[in-house]
Amino acid sequence: MTVYIPSALRSYTKQRSEVVAEGQTLAEVLSTLDHRYPGLRFRIITEQGTIRQHIRIFVKEEQVRDLSVALQPEDQIHIICALSGG
Protein backbone atom coordinates (compact mmCIF):
# COMPACT_ATOMS: atom_id res chain seq x y z
CA MET A 1 0.00 0.00 0.00
CA THR A 2 1.04 3.58 -0.45
CA VAL A 3 2.09 5.70 2.48
CA TYR A 4 2.22 9.46 2.02
CA ILE A 5 5.06 11.06 3.95
CA PRO A 6 4.92 14.64 5.27
CA SER A 7 7.83 16.97 4.61
CA ALA A 8 8.97 16.75 8.25
CA LEU A 9 9.74 13.04 7.82
CA ARG A 10 11.30 13.02 4.36
CA SER A 11 14.82 13.23 5.78
CA TYR A 12 14.17 9.58 6.68
CA THR A 13 12.73 8.54 3.27
CA LYS A 14 15.45 10.03 1.09
CA GLN A 15 13.04 12.90 0.37
CA ARG A 16 10.37 10.60 -1.04
CA SER A 17 6.87 11.95 -0.47
CA GLU A 18 5.28 8.55 -0.96
CA VAL A 19 6.58 5.07 -0.30
CA VAL A 20 5.19 1.57 -0.62
CA ALA A 21 5.04 -0.62 2.49
CA GLU A 22 3.46 -3.95 3.39
CA GLY A 23 1.53 -5.07 6.46
CA GLN A 24 -1.76 -6.50 7.65
CA THR A 25 -2.26 -3.70 10.16
CA LEU A 26 -1.14 -0.10 10.59
CA ALA A 27 1.29 -1.27 13.28
CA GLU A 28 2.89 -3.71 10.83
CA VAL A 29 3.17 -1.05 8.14
CA LEU A 30 4.87 1.31 10.57
CA SER A 31 7.27 -1.46 11.62
CA THR A 32 8.07 -2.12 7.98
CA LEU A 33 8.71 1.55 7.43
CA ASP A 34 10.91 1.78 10.51
CA HIS A 35 12.96 -1.20 9.37
CA ARG A 36 13.48 0.47 6.02
CA TYR A 37 13.87 4.00 7.39
CA PRO A 38 15.32 3.61 10.90
CA GLY A 39 14.08 6.10 13.47
CA LEU A 40 10.97 7.21 11.56
CA ARG A 41 8.45 5.36 13.73
CA PHE A 42 9.58 6.86 17.06
CA ARG A 43 9.20 10.38 15.75
CA ILE A 44 5.45 9.78 15.20
CA ILE A 45 4.58 6.99 17.66
CA THR A 46 5.37 7.19 21.37
CA GLU A 47 7.10 4.52 23.42
CA GLN A 48 3.63 3.62 24.71
CA GLY A 49 2.42 2.83 21.19
CA THR A 50 0.23 5.89 20.78
CA ILE A 51 0.21 8.38 17.92
CA ARG A 52 2.04 11.54 18.98
CA GLN A 53 0.03 14.61 19.94
CA HIS A 54 0.60 16.59 16.76
CA ILE A 55 0.56 13.72 14.28
CA ARG A 56 -2.54 12.43 12.51
CA ILE A 57 -2.80 9.25 10.47
CA PHE A 58 -5.55 8.74 7.90
CA VAL A 59 -6.43 5.44 6.19
CA LYS A 60 -8.76 5.75 3.24
CA GLU A 61 -9.31 9.37 4.30
CA GLU A 62 -10.56 8.31 7.74
CA GLN A 63 -8.55 9.30 10.79
CA VAL A 64 -7.34 6.32 12.80
CA ARG A 65 -6.09 6.29 16.38
CA ASP A 66 -5.56 2.58 16.88
CA LEU A 67 -2.48 1.02 15.33
CA SER A 68 -4.18 -2.39 15.22
CA VAL A 69 -6.57 -1.27 12.49
CA ALA A 70 -6.63 -3.85 9.66
CA LEU A 71 -5.46 -2.73 6.23
CA GLN A 72 -6.11 -3.82 2.67
CA PRO A 73 -3.40 -3.84 0.00
CA GLU A 74 -5.08 -1.04 -1.94
CA ASP A 75 -5.38 1.25 1.09
CA GLN A 76 -3.69 4.61 1.11
CA ILE A 77 -2.17 5.91 4.31
CA HIS A 78 -1.57 9.59 4.93
CA ILE A 79 0.71 10.70 7.76
CA ILE A 80 -0.10 14.33 8.53
CA CYS A 81 1.63 16.88 10.72
CA ALA A 82 -1.26 18.53 12.57
CA LEU A 83 -1.24 22.23 13.32
CA SER A 84 1.55 22.98 15.76
CA GLY A 85 3.54 25.72 14.17
CA GLY A 86 5.02 28.93 15.50
Q: Give 51 or 71: the residue with its C-beta nearer to another protein.
A: 51
Bridge partners (DSSP) of residue 81 are 55
**For binding to another protein (CB under 8 A), which residues are involved?**
6, 8-9, 38-39, 42-50, 52, 54-55, 81-82, 84-86
Comparing CA positions, the residue from 73, 74, 68, 75 lying closest to residue 50 is 68
Q: Give 26 or 44: the residue with its C-beta nearer to another protein.
A: 44
Cα 55–Cα 31–Cα 29 angle in degrees, nearest 5: 75
Q: Give 17 or 22: the residue with its C-beta nearer to another protein.
A: 17
